[in-house]
Amino acid sequence: MDQIQLQKLDTTVLKWLDQVHHLVEQRVRQRMQVDTKSSHRDLVTNVDREVEQYYVQHIRNFDPEAQILGEEGLGDAVKSMKGRIWFVDPIDGTMNFVKQQSEFATMVAVYEDGEPVMAWIMDVQQHDIIHGGPEYGVFHNGEKLELSADIGLDEGLVILSGARLLYEEPGFPQLAKAAMGYRVYGSAGISYLHVLTGKAVAYLSRMRPWDFAAGITLAKSLGLRVGTIDEQPMNMLVSGSVLVATDKAYADIMALLQKKG
């Protein structure tokens, strides 16, 4: 896509994000319907479904040829990365959304023939947005975002998945101990926002494609390191243990994980 097309794409999705912000603001004042999915901790609400429906309708109008991979299943059964694919996580951090009405995100990413094009992550309650792509640059609410200082693990905060820590998945407790501090936010999107703005040096979790598609697009575009911790190639259509970090923290973490045995 050329710069004019990228600009149009960005302006269009930023308008959708405004609408999503207002829609969610209204819905939190109303009675929410909360259901469980795979476990009592895996929640979905009527708002998750409504926001996904909103994105699906607008993407279909704007980009009718594309396929949509959405968490709540209102898009397509995407089998390959050929063509244009939109990844949608309507509400990321649904537990935070239900319990706190804060610290939750909405995430959208566009890929073309397997390559990242653009992505958007919004802290919905704060209306705080990071958006951009490899050929476009990365912006924080419209202001160009620059890569923060290259800080190592012992000087920074590492963000980890709470479940991985709780169940002592190999490497996770060691990482929490080695870092200057560790944090668990309960939302991949909020975690990525912290790494992208230099508040944390790394985020590591096992996630599904809609959880990491936007985060890795923005991280790579900004110049952060992105990889899987088993050093397998990234597969955009399956779950993976995805690491985003500064160069120094990435090297520290990989060295530590190789020693974990």
Residues annotated within the binding site for Mg(2+) are: 71, 89, 91-92, 211
Report what 209 binds from Ca ion, ligand IPD, none; CB cut-off 5-8 Å by kind: none
Q: With contacts defined by CB under 5 A, name the span among 32-40, 67-75, 154-162, 253-261 that binds Ca ion.
A: 67-75
Give min distance, CB of 72 to Ca ion, in A. Answer: 7
The runs of H, that is alpha helices, within 89-246 are: 94-99, 162-166, 172-178, 188-196, 209-222
Query: How many other C-beta atoms are found inside a 10 Å radius of the C-beta of residue 230?
Result: 8
| Alpha carbon distances (Å) from 19 to 133, 165, 182 | 22, 36, 34
Query: How many other C-beta atoms are found inside a 10 Å radius of the C-beta of residue 32?
Result: 14
Q: Which of 198, 188, 199, 127 is nearest to 161 (CA)?
A: 188
Annotated binding site: 71, 89, 91-92, 211
Structural contact between residues 136 and 13, judged by C-beta atoms closer than 8 angstroms: no
Per the listing, tokens 């537990």 go with 95
* Contact pattern for Ca ion over residues 74 through 113, marking x by CB under 5 A: ---------------x--x---------------------
Of the candidates 10, 92, 103, 252, which one interacts with ligand IPD according to CB under 6 A? 92
Question: Total residues at the site for ligand IPD (CB under 6 A)?
Answer: 12
Q: Does 103 bind ligand IPD (CB under 6 A)?
A: no
Q: With contacts defined by CB under 6 A, name the span among 3-11, 118-126, 183-191, 221-229 that binds ligand IPD.
A: 183-191
Q: Does 72 bind ligand IPD (CB under 6 A)?
A: no
